[in-house]
């Protein structure tokens, strides 16, 4: 999968994609993450990519031209499944959307900044608008890093133990059961006996019971019919 991220602050997220599982996914050839500096696509001699809004309200608005030039250049090279725009008024991102997007071949992710982007970009280029939650960040970069992480980690082969991505919280609309590691007892706090029993079926039943109990207690909304 190839993901092209368009931003005015490439340095804000570059380091993130050079670390840990995101870096490994790229080295294994399972994901290619290309970060584009929007300022490289403006014809303005001062590299400006924003301007005052029509109508006289406060704040600056990202201009259509550099974004058009960047997206059009990418689209001339390959077909994209979606052109995503990170914005607090988009559809709320969740595991279901991550699962769907992880089946894509090519994605563009546009990070918003300033007061917003010229609305014509949203009307003519964007195919899906995504929010990571009901709060406003200073820009779309962290939100883009969040969704790309969630999408890439579930590409088969990215996490060595595939089972571990499948048993994540939210994959079955259930929170994950508790996990423990050695020592079996620490300061008198014990790992549940069942996990030391070696009895595979009883352990799986216990995990499901725990997952259900935690979901009922912490996120009852996940158990409601949708």
Residue 42 vs 87, nearer CB to ligand ADE: 87
Residue 133 vs 157, nearer CB to ligand ADE: 133
Cβ atoms 130, 148 nearer than 8 A? no
DSSP track, 97-135: HHHHHTT-SEEEEEEP-TTEE-HHHHHHT-SEEEESSSS
Residue 141 vs 207, nearer CB to ligand ADE: 141
Residue 87 vs 102, nearer CB to ligand ADE: 87
Distance CA 65, CA 38 (A): 10
Neighbours of 141 (CB within 10 A): 24
- Which residues would be at the binding site for ligand ADE (CB under 6 A)? 86-88, 112, 131-133, 135-137, 140, 143
| Minimum distance of ligand ADE from residue 111's CB (angstroms) | 8
DSSP 8-class letter at 190:
E
Structure tokens at 202: 């009883």
Residue 128 vs 214, nearer CB to ligand ADE: 128
Tell me which long-range contacts 158-163 makes (C-beta under 8 A, separation of at least 24).
158/21, 158/24, 158/25, 158/28, 158/30, 158/31, 159/21
| Minimum distance of ligand ADE from residue 80's CB (angstroms) | 19
| Minimum distance of ligand ADE from residue 144's CB (angstroms) | 8
| Minimum distance of ligand ADE from residue 63's CB (angstroms) | 18
| Minimum distance of ligand ADE from residue 173's CB (angstroms) | 22
Give Cα 189 distance to the centre of its chain.
36
How far, in Å, are 76, 138, 176, 186, 223 from residue 111 at the CA level? 20, 11, 31, 46, 33
| Minimum distance of ligand ADE from residue 113's CB (angstroms) | 8
Residue 35 vs 132, nearer CB to ligand ADE: 132
């Amino acid at each position: 999968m190839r993901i092209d991220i368009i931003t005015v602050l490439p340095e804000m997220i570059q380091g993130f994609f050079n670390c840990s599982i995101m870096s490994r996914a790229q080295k294994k050839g399972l994901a290619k993450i290309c970060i584009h500096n929007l300022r490289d696509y403006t014809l303005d001699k001062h590299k400006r990519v924003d301007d005052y809004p029509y109508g006289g309200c406060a704040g600056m608005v990202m201009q259509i031209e550099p974004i058009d030039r960047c997206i059009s250049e990418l689209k001339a090279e390959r077909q994209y499944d979606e052109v995503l725009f990170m914005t607090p008024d988009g559809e709320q991102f969740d595991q279901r959307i991550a699962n769907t997007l992880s089946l894509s071949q090519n994605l563009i992710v546009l990070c918003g900044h300033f007061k917003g982007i010229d609305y014509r970009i949203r009307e003519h280029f964007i195919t899906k608008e995504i929010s990571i939650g009901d709060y406003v960040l200073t820009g779309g970069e962290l939100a883009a890093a969040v969704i790309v992480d969630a999408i890439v980690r579930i590409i088969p082969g990215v996490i060595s133990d595939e089972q571990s991505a499948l048993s994540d919280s939210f994959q079955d609309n259930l929170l994950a059961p508790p996990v423990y590691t050695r020592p079996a007892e620490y300061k008198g706090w014990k790992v549940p006996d069942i996990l030391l029993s070696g009895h595979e079926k009883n352990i799986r039943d216990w995990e499901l019971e725990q997952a259900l109990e935690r979901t009922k207690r912490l996120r009852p909304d996940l158990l409601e019919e949708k």
